């Protein structure tokens, strides 16, 4: 009898420890921590959630109340852009940074609704630095700006820029479903826009003359290809390119996988569009959901980041060649990820099957997002650094590389608990990384300490 009681007590202690760990897991844990990931596989989720809702109801309510208080503060301050968090933060390699967070006047991401929830398409926000101003456009199309120098104050003093995005939808008989990026180039503001009309879901680019009072957008590029179902695998990034062109990344809906390897379609492609003629050419194919896009003129190099399926997030290099060869990055044939149901139909080697190998791949997935390149002359940190942002892993990954972009010299990482990073950009003048955190949402200001 005593032995039975002892076993029951031991089991009870194990359950309590596991559930305590699970509570930690549910509250902003590092989703790349292998120990915690292993524990998640052992602990039945249904059991953990049930006990969390009973035994751990008080700490759970405290967490919710804290988030609610933050949201109330955000809405009360309106367009002030108040500073609400300042702290020192260390990277894995013990580099010290100062992080400041300012409120953005946009709606909060609904995490519990799930990433595929249509309403969350309006919760992704993007920014550009133009001269002395920082311009931010919300997923809903609301546009604000503030003077860059205000990051040294306790308020950003944001101002609204009016635009005609909603009017465009009415005039052209489509349903506006969110902005996917913003780009400033030669006194023009470009945005990519997800929409739905009688043909289905698609994405176009619109352009407006740069004006801080009013942005009058007009059609710049029409994809003119449609999917019947809403998908988050849209791509949509915009980037400056050579020869008076801009780059546009296009994702591939699951239902349209068969079109990714077909040059007659734009699904899963990165294209260059001439700003005058609007004609385009395909530069690469075999992309799933390219969420980051960068062109380095000095090296004639396009870098894109893209989401894999379950695992296999990629950083891809495309050195542009004069022979006009279209690079193929393998989707949906090659991937280092697997399907969400556990099946694995993908080739693991890309090169063996005639595709471009990713420069880096991440498994488990980090929810890869925008990418920066800071050359060593930027003096932000040592060496040439690719800075990869992530949604799921709530991190910035610093990848120091050689001048020839072939070797990785060093890696570092900054983890931001309870965050999702949607967009990043760099200001040379202030040596500052600007970050869009989408849960509050807020704008983060990161400087080396």
Report if residue 410 sits inside a domain: no
Report if residue 27 sits inside a domain: yes
Report if residue 12 sits inside a domain: yes
Report if residue 8 sits inside a domain: yes
The domain total for the chain is: 1
What region does 280 belong to: left with phi over 0, alpha with psi -120 to 50, or beta? beta
Tell me the average pLDDT across 115-120: 74
pLDDT, mean over the chain: 90
- 145, pLDDT greater than 60: yes
- 264, pLDDT greater than 70: yes
- 183, pLDDT greater than 80: yes
Tell me the average pLDDT across 342-365: 95
Query: Contact at 8 Å (CB) between 128 and 426?
Result: no
- 30, pLDDT greater than 60: yes
> What pLDDT score does 410 carry?
96
pLDDT grade for 243, boundaries at 50, 70 and 90: very high
> What pLDDT score does 16 carry?
58
pTM: 0.90
- Cα–Cα distance for residue pair 338/358, rounded to 1 Å: 16
> What pLDDT score does 101 carry?
97
> What pLDDT score does 120 carry?
82
> What pLDDT score does 142 carry?
97
Q: Residues 190-222: pLDDT tens digits?
A: 999 999 999 999 999 999 999 999 999 999 999
> What pLDDT score does 323 carry?
83
Q: Which of 320, 217, 317, 336 is nearest to 272 (CA)?
A: 320
- Cα–Cα distance for residue pair 216/208, rounded to 1 Å: 5
> What pLDDT score does 42 carry?
66
Tell me the average pLDDT across 33-41: 65
- 47, pLDDT greater than 70: no
Report if residue 312 sits inside a domain: no
Per-residue b/e over 35-69, b at no fewer than 16 CB within 10 Å?
eeeebbeebeeeebeebbeeebeeebeebeeeeee
- 435, pLDDT greater than 80: yes
pLDDT grade for 121, boundaries at 50, 70 and 90: confident
Pairwise pLDDT comparison (298 vs 6), residue with the higher score: 298
* Token pair belonging to 89: 């933060």
> What pLDDT score does 97 carry?
97
Burial class (CB in 10 A: 0-12, 13-18, 19+), 170: exposed
Instruction: Tell me the backbone φ, ψ of residue 182, rounded to 5 degrees.
Output: -135, 140
Q: In what order do the strands lie in the sheet with 188-197?
A: 175-185, 188-197, 200-209, 218-222
Give the range of the structural domain holding residue 8, as residue numbers without chain letter.
Answer: 2-55
Q: Residues 319-343: pLDDT tens digits?
A: 998 888 999 999 999 999 999 999 9
Report if residue 115 sits inside a domain: no
> What pLDDT score does 108 carry?
84
Report if residue 39 sits inside a domain: yes
Of 119-123, 124-128, 238-242, minimum mean pLDDT range? 119-123
Tell me the average pLDDT across 8-29: 57
> What pLDDT score does 44 carry?
66
- Cα–Cα distance for residue pair 138/449, rounded to 1 Å: 30
Tell me the average pLDDT across 305-322: 95
Report if residue 20 sits inside a domain: yes
> What pLDDT score does 273 carry?
98
> What pLDDT score does 303 carry?
98
């Amino acid at each position: 009898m005593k032995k039975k009681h002892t076993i029951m007590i031991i089991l009870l202690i194990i359950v309590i420890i596991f559930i305590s760990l699970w509570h930690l897991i549910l509250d902003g844990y590092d989703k790349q921590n292998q120990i915690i990931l292993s524990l998640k596989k052992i602990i039945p989720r249904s059991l953990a959630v049930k006990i969390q809702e009973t035994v751990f109801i008080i700490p759970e309510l405290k967490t919710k109340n804290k988030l609610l208080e933050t949201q109330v503060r955000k809405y009360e301050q309106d367009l002030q852009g108040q500073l609400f968090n300042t702290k020192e933060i260390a990277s894995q390699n013990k580099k010290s940074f100062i992080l400041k967070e300012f409120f953005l006047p946009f709606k909060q991401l609904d995490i519990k609704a799930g990433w595929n929830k249509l309403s969350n398409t309006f919760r992704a926000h993007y920014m550009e630095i133009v001269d002395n101003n920082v311009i931010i456009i919300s997923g809903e199309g609301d546009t604000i700006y503030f003077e860059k120098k205000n990051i040294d104050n306790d308020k950003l003093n944001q101002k609204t820029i009016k635009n005609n995005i909603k009017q465009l939808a009415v005039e052209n008989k489509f349903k506006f479903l969110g902005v996917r990026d913003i780009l400033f180039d030669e006194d023009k503001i470009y945005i990519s826009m997800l929409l739905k009309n009688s043909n289905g879901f698609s994405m176009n680019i619109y352009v407006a003359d740069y004006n801080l009072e009013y942005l009058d957008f007009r059609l710049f590029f029409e994809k003119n290809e449609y999917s019947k179902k809403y998908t988050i695998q849209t791509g949509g990034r915009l980037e400056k390119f050579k020869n008076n062109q801009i780059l546009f990344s296009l994702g591939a809906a699951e239902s349209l996988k068969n079109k990714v390897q077909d040059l007659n379609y734009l699904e899963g492609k990165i294209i260059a569009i001439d700003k005058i003629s609007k004609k385009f050419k395909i530069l690469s194919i075999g992309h799933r959901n390219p969420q980051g896009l960068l062109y380095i003129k000095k090296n004639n190099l396009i870098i894109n980041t893209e989401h894999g399926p379950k695992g296999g997030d990629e950083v891809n290099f495309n050195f542009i060649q004069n022979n006009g060869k279209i690079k193929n990055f393998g989707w949906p044939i090659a991937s280092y990820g697997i399907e969400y149901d556990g099946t694995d139909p993908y080739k693991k080697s890309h090169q063996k099957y005639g595709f471009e190998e990713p420069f880096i791949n991440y498994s488990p997935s980090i929810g890869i997002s925008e990418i920066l390149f800071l050359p060593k002359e930027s003096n932000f940190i040592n060496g040439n650094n690719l800075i990869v942002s992530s949604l799921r892993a709530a991190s910035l990954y610093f990848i120091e590389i050689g001048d020839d972009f072939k070797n990785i010299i060093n890696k570092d990482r900054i983890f931001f608990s309870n965050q999702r990073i949607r967009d990043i950009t760099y200001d040379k003048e202030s040596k500052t990384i600007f970050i869009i955190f989408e849960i509050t949402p807020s704008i983060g200001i990161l400087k080396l300490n």
